[in-house]
Chain A
Amino acid sequence: MAKHVLFEIGMEELPARFIDDAELQLREKTAKWLEDLRIAYDSITSFSTPRRLAVRIENIADMQTTIEEEAKGPALTIAKDENGEWTKAAIGFAKGQGKTVEDLVEKEVNGKAYVFVTKRIEGKATNELLPGFKDVITSISFSNNMRWGTNTLRFARPIRWLVALYGNEIVPFEITKVETSNVTYGHRFLGESVTLGDAMDYEKKLKENFVIADAKERKARILEGIDELQNDQFQVSVDQDLLAEVTNLVEYPTVFKGEFEEMFLGLPSEVLIISMKEHQRYFPVKSKEVKLLPSFIGVRNGDDTALETVIRGNEKVLRARLQDAEFFYEEDQKNTIDHHLEKLSRVVFQEKLGTLAEKTERVTDLTERIAENLNLPANMIEDASRAAEISKFDLMTNMVNEFTDLQGVIGEIYALNLGEKEAVAAAIREQYLPTHANGDLPDSEIGAILSVAEKIDTIVGIISVGKIPTGSQDPYALRRQAIGVLRILEAGKWEMKVEDLLQLAYDLYDELEIEKISDYKEKIHEFFKLRASHLLKEAGIEQDVFQAVMDKEMGNFTYAMAKARHLSKKRHEEAFKEKEEALVRILNLADKAENNEINPQAFETDSEKALFEQFELSRKAFSDHDKAHDAVKAFEQLEALADPIHEFFDNNMVMADNMELRNNRLALVAAISSLILDYADLALIEWKQHF
């Protein structure tokens, strides 16, 4: 009967965030290792808890698979002489493979005959190879490693025991002087050490000792425990990231409910939630009306022994945290916005770019310029300007100092408390959106403008002091911010070219004489283009389409995106092939053309007259659709030119001997080409039709 193999790495508590990935690595590396070793098996099961990673190989073969391999030798013409005798070359080859010429066979490869030998590689016994698993263990990679004691190995946390079983035999190896055995350990306090006789007993024995080795089962138990406490008026908001973390903070979960004093509900709910979730890893509870309730859900590592003590302890900790938050909240309320703003001049944003107060002034100026450029009504410009002016005041409050993730959120709450308009307050929060590449965008127009101004100032400023992001180095998250700007432009259908938007910032930096911005314009421009190409890629649009639409300029980003989406769809339409050929033919020929005046009287043939007429029609209609940024209709006008173009080329010699005729035809080609290029450089697209 085939045997099972079990490897378990016992460690001091692994960071929760490492565990899922480490278990996956262990499983995949094990499979790869067995494949490389040519050892057959039925299945692999993996396990993980904060104190262990384990893998079980079920029904493993007792030998490596024996294989036959063919080795290619010299060509037959070299292997045999004119008499049909084996040459020295053939003998040498056979010998080199551990064989004799008797073993050589002839085979044709691409019409030419060669000699081959077949080699048999005998499989070794599995138990001889298993100690090599040591390398699989030490190859698991973590984002942060440590050393301990006098060891040189770098690993996530110290290794304290190793189980390595083949059937009921111990597979011998050691790592950092820890030797393998058949003994594992249960829950730190509730369990005992367990001698394993059979790998298949692993999870059962551990469960008897208060360890649930299957992470999915732990998660399910937590959800079950939450469900038991839930009802109509008591809804636990289960954040998946937090659930994943809590699952990996315990070996044996027991869910409990704790409470805090109702008076703390006077604090902003964001503060309560962050105190519970981030600091204590509790799940907040809400009523049916989605109001926070003075309760929380925690998960204990263990059974329900003395659960009351544990609950009381947790309540006490949360109370102390909320008291702190309340103290900060009350202290903050004693001060005005101006009081906080005054402090900004003491905080440096970036050495060469000045203090946060100076940054705020720039952002305010930029916000106003953008708002004016977008022709916002005066009252909205005023609100945008006010929002920008006070946009950073909350960074100086006790609350944001304590809960940095709440920047903007606290700003909105305090601004409202202190009598600012709702639109102004909301924009303070929205300036930080999107907080990640796919995050929510600002809802309000003012928020969007402030968010763009804030980000552009950071990007232009930081790059102009020479800190352009490279590789993994992007400490100011400029890439994310540029993506944010572009997404806001597209979603808000901004009537402003990306280039013009950047120019507003350049002008401002020039006027303030902060850095020599002219040296960096091109870099900043390239940086945005690279981000745009990334954004298109995410949307499933190929590089060549990006090049065609945005290489010359990004222009109005909403329109550019619409063009890119349209072309990306068109490129796969069967009927489009002919149209595309016509348009690209014009573009290619236009290289030879000079921009002469077209003389309609000088056309000779019907087909050139017809093309000119269609061009006049298309140009006019295109211009209207182009102004309206209708990517589909504008493109239809180009497509309408395709048939007349084919006719034109079929019936006319463009490079006519008559120079007047030639120049006039070239002038037409050039005019059409420039119309096409107004839309996109279609010659850059590799047309792929999938029929």
Chain B
Amino acid sequence: MNIQQMILELQKHWSEQNCILVQAYDTEKGAGTMSPMTLLRSLGPEPWNVAYVEPSRRPDDGRYGDNPNRLYQHHQFQVIMKPSPDNIQELYLESLKKIGIDPLQHDIRFVEDNWENPTLGAAGLGWEVWLDGMEITQFTYFQQIGGLEANPVSVELTYGIERLASYIQDKENVFDLEWTDGVTVRDIFYQPEFEHSTYTFEESDTAMLFELFSMYENEAKRIMEKGLVFPAYDYVLKCSHTFNLLDARGVISVTERTGYITRVRNLARGIAKTYVQERERLGFPMLRKGEEVNG
């Protein structure tokens, strides 16, 4: 099964579980969690079920396309269900069968792994799912988001697309994976991997990036005060990515690092709070009739 078919199968499966299929969010980010479709929508009492593919940039993991396992940009398949359904583990295992992983032929395990993202003031409990010793999915019950208690609790599933595919297609090198018939990951992504790595480690204009960080930060603050949550959040994402570029270049010392993370976190917290207030002002429109506001 190639990557394209895998994605289609996962989309079909989660669509059958009443997930909204949305498209990747158009701002750079390090993980699917950072999409507003997860980070903001998992806040507050409104039910929310969604699935999407998210291209995720990790500048520090760039390897000029040389490393068989590491990528500047990989793909995550992200599922959020709020409140977390009682049979979520079964639904997840069903999804593995749909992409050709028969649990009887493998060793699938849920190994404790608690997730925390200090930049987003977010934390959750759960597992990494192992397939014959390889971590293929992060499975997390959100407990806190943007510094706010998650209530009801959302469950997040993050599948590592390339990891899973390398197992399904039995390939040692991520660039040998088939995206679709006759087209490999190398064909599509080798050049950007090489160029982004070169940019990140050698060519980025750090003075400009520092300046951008401050500009994005100020803009986020300014429009957050006007209650414009989504645009403000876009600027937080830009801050985060700019910070990652600077960090990968090795120009941020450890103290400064803590300082930057705190700045982004404060923004994220402010936005989380404002988002819930805005939804409340709108009367939590996605609460179905007869449903009570929880807590």
Interchain CB contact under 8 A, B152 and A310:
no
Chain B residues within an 8 Å CB radius of A301: 107, 109
Of B67, B125, B151, B167, most A-chain CB atoms within 10 Å: B125
Do the beta carbons of B68 and A323 come within 8 Å of each other? yes
- Knowing A189-B103, A189-B104, A301-B107, the reply to whether A348 touches B253 (Cβ < 8 A) is yes
Q: Which residues of A contact B86 (CB under 8 A)?
A: 149, 158, 160
B83 to chain A, nearest CB (A): 5
| Beta-carbon contact of B89 and A309 below 8 Å | no
CA distance A157 to B69 in the complex (A): 32
Instruction: Report chain A residues within 8 Å CB of B131.
Output: 313
> At the interface, yes or no: B153 with Cβ under 8 Å from chain A?
yes
Contact assessment for B112 and A149 in the assembled complex, using a CB-CB cutoff below 8 Å? no
> Which of A11-19, A55-63, A611-619 lies at the binding interface?
A11-19
Known: A149-B84, A149-B86, A305-B105. A348 touches B255 (CB 8 A): yes
Interface residues of A in 296-316 (CB under 8 A from B): 298, 300-302, 305-306, 309-310, 312-314, 316
One digit per residue, 1 when the CB lies within 8 angstroms of any chain B CB and 0 when it does not, for chain A 307-334 equals 0011011101110100110010000000
Query: At the interface, yes or no: A89 with Cβ under 8 Å from chain B?
Result: no
Is A147's beta carbon under 8 Å from chain B? yes
Q: Chain A residues with Cβ under 8 A from B218's Cβ?
A: none
Q: How far is the CB of B129 from chain A (nearest CB, A)?
A: 10
B141 CB within 8 Å of chain A: yes
Render B217-242 as a binary contact track against A, CB cut-off 8 A, 1 for contact. 00000000000000000000000000
CA distance A644 to B111 in the complex (A): 73
Cα A386 to Cα B112 in complex, Å, equals: 43
CB of A309 within 8 A of CB of B133, answer no
Residues of B67-113 whose CB lies within 8 A of A: 67-69, 83-86, 89, 93, 103-112
Partner of A347, one of B85, B110, B254: B254
B213 within 8 A of A: no
A298/B133 in contact, CB under 8 A: yes
Contacts of A467 in B (CB 8 A): none
Q: How distant is the Cα of A300 from the Cα of B132 in the complex, in angstroms? A: 8
Q: How far is the CA of A204 from the CA of B210 in the complex (A)?
A: 66
Question: Is A476 an interface residue when CB atoms closer than 8 A count as contact?
Answer: no
Interchain CA distance A150-B131 in the complex, whole Å: 30
B114 interface residue per 8 A CB criterion: yes
* A-B pair number, CB within 8 angstroms: 101
- Report if A605 contacts B (CB, 8 A): no
The distance in angstroms between the C-alpha atoms of A144 and B113, with both chains bound, is 12
Asked if A320 contacts B69 (CB within 8 A), the reply is: yes
A228 interfacial by beta-carbon distance below 8 Å: no
Tell me the minimal C-beta distance from A261 to chain B in angstroms: 12
Residues of the A chain whose Cβ atoms lie less than 8 Å from the Cβ of B125 = 144, 146, 157
CA distance A116 to B106 in the complex (A): 72
Bound state CA distance, A313 and B150, in angstroms?
36
Nearest chain A CB to B114's CB is how many angstroms away?
Answer: 7
Write the chain B residue with the least CB distance to A157.
Answer: B125
Segment 107-161 of B: residues with Cβ below 8 Å from A:
107-112, 114, 125, 127, 131-134, 141, 143, 150-153, 155
A397 CB to nearest B CB, Å:
14
Is B23 on the interface with A (CB-CB < 8 A)?
no
Choice from A12, A300, A306, A314 contacting B89 with Cβ under 8 Å:
A12
Q: Tell me, yes or no, whether A190 is within 8 Å of chain B by CB.
A: yes
Assess the A309–B132 pair: CB atoms within 8 A.
yes
Contacts of B253 in A (CB 8 A): 346-348
Indicate whether B172 reaches chain A with its CB closer than 8 angstroms.
yes
A-chain residues with CB within 8 Å of residue B254 when the two chains form the complex: 346-348
Contact B110 A280 (CB under 8 A): no
- State in angstroms the CA–CA spacing of A158 and B141 once bound together: 10
Q: With a CB–CB cut-off of 8 A, which chain A residues contact B68?
A: 320, 323
A341 is an interface residue with CB less than 8 A from chain B: no
Size band of the interface chain A makes with B? 35 or more
Complexed CA–CA distance, A298 and B68 (Å): 24
A188 contacts the other chain (CB 8 A): yes
Contact B134 A313 (CB under 8 A): yes
**A327 and B294 form a contact (CB under 8 A):** no
Known: A12-B110, A149-B153, A249-B109. A317 touches B255 (CB 8 A): no
| A526-561 interface code vs B (CB 8 A; 1 in, 0 out) | 000000000000000000000000000000000000
Taking the closest CB of chain A, its distance from the CB of B85, in whole angstroms, is 8
Separation of A280 and B86 alpha carbons in the complex (Å): 29
Interface positions, chain B 39-63, Cβ under 8 Å from A, are none
For A3-14 the 0/1 string (1 means CB < 8 A from B) is: 000000000110
With A189-B108, A280-B133, A310-B107 already in contact, the answer to whether A351 and B255 are too (CB < 8 A) is yes
Any B CB within 8 A of the CB of A148? yes
State A316–B106 Cα separation when bound (angstroms).
14
A306 surroundings in chain B (CB, below 8 A): 104-106
Q: Do the beta carbons of B133 and A314 come within 8 Å of each other?
A: yes
Contact A300 B152 (CB under 8 A): no
Shortest B225–chain A CB gap in Å is 30
Q: What residues on A are CB-neighbors of B107 within 8 Å?
A: 300-302, 310, 313
For B132, list chain A residues within 8 Å (CB): 309-310, 312-314, 316-317
Q: Which residues on B sit within 8 Å (CB–CB) of A50? A: 110
| A320 CA to B108 CA, complexed, in Å | 19
Residues of B within 8 A of A144 (CB): 114, 125
B interface footprint on A621-643 (CB within 8 Å = 1, 0 otherwise):
00000000000000000000000
Residues 24-61 of A, flagged 1 when their CB comes within 8 A of B and 0 if not, give 00000000000000000000000000100000000000
Return B174 CB to nearest CB of chain A, in Å. 10
Kindly state the separation between the CA atoms of A302 and B108 in the bound complex, as whole angstroms: 9
Given contacts A310-B106, A323-B69, A327-B67, contact A15 B112 (CB under 8 A): yes
| A183 vs B83: C-alpha distance when bound (angstroms) | 26
Complex Cα spacing A310 to B167, Å: 11
Most chain A beta-carbon contacts within 10 A, residue among B84, B112, B125, B255 = B112
Nearest 5 A-B pairs (CB), nearest first? A313-B132, A15-B112, A13-B110, A314-B133, A348-B255
Q: List 27 A-B contacts (CB under 8 A).
A: A13-B110, A15-B112, A16-B111, A16-B112, A146-B125, A146-B143, A147-B150, A149-B85, A149-B152, A150-B153, A150-B294, A189-B103, A190-B104, A250-B109, A301-B109, A302-B107, A305-B104, A310-B106, A312-B132, A314-B133, A317-B132, A317-B133, A318-B133, A320-B69, A323-B68, A323-B69, A348-B254
Chain A residues proximal to chain B, CB less than 8 Å: 12-13, 15-17, 50, 144, 146-150, 157-158, 160, 188-190, 249-250, 280, 298, 300-302, 305-306, 309-310, 312-314, 316-318, 320, 323-324, 327, 346-348, 351
Query: B interface vs A, CB < 8 Å?
Result: 67-69, 83-86, 89, 93, 103-112, 114, 125, 127, 131-134, 141, 143, 150-153, 155, 167, 172, 253-255, 294
Instruction: Supply 5 further A-B pairs (C-beta < 8 A) apart from A302-B107, A320-B69.
Output: A13-B127, A310-B106, A313-B132, A313-B133, A317-B133
